[in-house]
Structure 1
Amino acid sequence: MAGMDTDWLTLLCAAALAFSVFNYVLLDGTDLGVGMLMGLTNCSQQRRAMAVTILPVWDANETWLVLGGGGLLAMFPLAYAILLPALYVPFIVMFLALIARAMALEFRDYAANEQRKRAVDSVLALASLVSGCVQGMVLGTLVQGVAHQGGQYHGEGRDWLSPFPLFCGLLLVLGYVWLGTCWLYWRTLDELQRRAARQARGLALVIVVLLLVLIAWTATLQPQYARRLMDVRLGLPAGLLLGVLAAVFARGFRSRFDCAPLFAALGVFVLAFAVMLVAVYPYIIPPDLTLSEAAASPNSQVFMLVGFAVLVPITLAYNTFGFRVFSGKVRVGKHT
């Protein structure tokens, strides 16, 4: 391994980790959004149709969360050792909520009557809400910065309850619901599709406004964030791309491509994620732990990269196959 550039290895590891987290947010975030929307839907047949759209794919989407968590432990063990104690409570809450969401999805059809089925759907909605909110709070805590000293967490364990993480939790919940509405517009028909379109259009403006507030707030957290986010070399391309995505989103509801609004919404998530990475780089835990300082040994990095090179294509193929097999529109009442 002596001939390999350690910096490139570290960047490849960071890219693999970011790719896993990014895929989880996009794919399972959509499922969580649909789960939250089920809690706002009174019609039992519509709730059943909504569940059918995500039942074949939700479990495969969570594979990316496993890859991200395992990758952080193996490739950046120092960052893992600092983050885990800082976020014990939210992580436990998130995993319990994900378990409750899984149970509700898989067992809702076995409920004895409509009243019990409604209760199961309420559990699904609440678990999806908690999962999305906690994920946003974890991300906000990371961007805000985690106190550490000598490779150990140095705080009181309540950083995630600060205003900035709470705002990030709210924003991610609304973002997931937005993805869920766009997903339902693509996968459903008739009144459910029309309602999803109305909800998606209304949420789009809210999301963009809150993202601008988030950028402005983030710039106040660290001097580096302010320099990066206010740099015209970042702001101009990001603004132009956001305008293009907004146009695609708006026109998507008037085209024959029902998937266009969803892909435009996913593009906004990609853009926001990329801006965040640019602002934070080269730190893995702001304000001062860099990727190189937190990285594992070169041998461990190579071992994990080989594993990712095998697992990522398989996971992508499995996701793609699942989406392809269960593609098509879901009609309300047909699966009830």
Structure 2
Amino acid sequence: MDLTILWAGIIAFAVFAYVVMDGFDLGIGVLFPTFKVGPERDQAMNTIAPVWDGNETWLVLGGGGLFAAFPLAYAVLLPATYPLVIAMLLGLVFRGVAFEFRWRDPAHRPFWDAAFTGGSLVASMAQGMILGAMLQGIEVANRAYAGSWFDWLTPYTLMTGLGTTAGYALLGSTWLIWKLEGPAQDHAYKLAFKAMLATGALMAAVSLYNLTLRPEYADRWLTTPEILFTWPIPIATAIAGLFLWRALIKRREVAPFLLSLLLFLLGMAGLGLTMYPDVVPPDMTIWDAAAPERSQIFMLVGVALTMPLIIGYTAWAYWVFRGKVGADGYH
């Protein structure tokens, strides 16, 4: 067994789990100003209040796993994206504080609502731009970052940031469709249509832009035999988008959220195939950046013990709060 590939899969799973679980949290924050002040906002907030802090466990696992299993990649990626990482962490801090103080400080609730929205928007954009910075390539010399402070700021990274934010808004709106009822649910349906169109347009734009970034990216998508493995992904994405449209038209409640998750999974699979086997394009593969085999084995034991626990308590939390949030704001 190639432990390097196994660890790449573990980190990819942790990142996807974070995107799935914290993505709709952030999406609700981005959409929060569109809900009426009062009961509607309370309903939206209470759909995620019991689980939001546990969702961020996966971000810690993904970042910690990258540091432990691919230390060289970690040492290059962080200096290349320090401003974005700092912005993301500050956004998550503001959002977390807003969660707690919104209920305890009614006199300043408009301020905390703004902090919740602003923190969610900043974190969403920063995460998408970090992904864009990785895909567009990072300058490396002597196994260290050799670029400037603002190499991450390009039209492409702004596009990936907007795409991620729109995708999170889609996850958030479809989650609210599942968990709400009444006028708030009707509003979530309208938001989901808009978020779906924005997400689809930006996914297509990023995919086309990828073909111009690096010659090897275009080769993986436009030449044989690679095209036989890559093109099923955009075809499946288009089909999933059509099913999502149909589910929203028919006002399904659970299917829109599941189909939104499928769109994210297909998008991540497409980006993974675009980059593979690089972890820091264009010159650093996962094997170049990997930790020694003994270190990987030692850490694998820890992951084998802790990951089932994380999955277990996460599943239990979602099961306990599986019902809808009523007009009174409670499950």
Q: TM-score, normalised by structure 2?
A: 0.95
Supply the AA of the counterpart residue of 1:200: A
Distance 2:59 2:320 in 1: 23
Q: Is the 8 A contact 1:215 1:229 kept in 2?
A: no
Supply the AA of the counterpart residue of 2:283: D
Task: List structure 1 runs of 4+ shifted beyond 4 angstroms.
Answer: 254-257
Matched, 1:168 2:141: no
Of the three residues 9, 19, 22, the one matched with 1:15 is: 9
Distance 2:293 2:312 in 1: 29
Q: Deviations over 1:264-299 (max 9, x none)?
A: 011001000000001100000000100101000001
Supply the AA of the counterpart residue of 2:153: L
Residue 196 of structure 2 is matched in structure 1 by 204
Matched, 1:66 2:60: yes
Matched, 1:92 2:86: yes
Of the three residues 215, 220, 237, the one matched with 2:212 is: 220
Cα shift at 1:251: 3.2
Residue-pair matches, total: 328
Distance 1:239 1:123 in 2: 36
Greater mean alpha carbon deviation, residues 274-283 or residues 311-320: 311-320
Distance 2:106 2:246 in 1: 43
Q: How well do the aligned residues superpose, as a CA RMSD in angstroms?
A: 1.6
Of the three residues 257, 266, 273, the one matched with 1:271 is: 266
Q: Deviations over 1:155-201 (max 9, x none)?
A: 11212211111111111111111111101000000111111111111
Cα shift at 1:151: 0.9
Supply the AA of the counterpart residue of 2:209: W
Change (3 A) 1:112 1:209: closer
Supply the AA of the counterpart residue of 2:241: A
Q: Is the 8 A contact 1:35 1:124 kept in 2?
A: yes
Cα shift at 1:85: 1.1
Cα shift at 1:235: 4.8
Residue 333 of structure 1 is matched in structure 2 by 328
Q: Deviations over 1:293-336 (max 9, x none)?
A: 10000011111222222222111111111111001111223449
**1:1-336 alignment, distance < 5 Å:** 5=1, 8-113=2-107, 116-231=108-223, 232-253=227-248, 257-335=252-330
Cα shift at 1:234: 3.8
Cα shift at 1:257: 5.0
Cα shift at 1:22: 1.2
Q: TM-score, normalised by structure 1?
A: 0.94
Distance 1:300 1:235 in 2: 33
Q: Is the 8 A contact 1:245 1:264 kept in 2?
A: yes
Distance 1:315 1:229 in 2: 36
Cα shift at 1:62: 0.1
> Structure 1 regions of 5+ residues with no counterpart?
none
Cα shift at 1:256: 7.8
Distance 1:73 1:145 in 2: 19
Query: Alignment partner of 1:284: what SS?
Result: strand
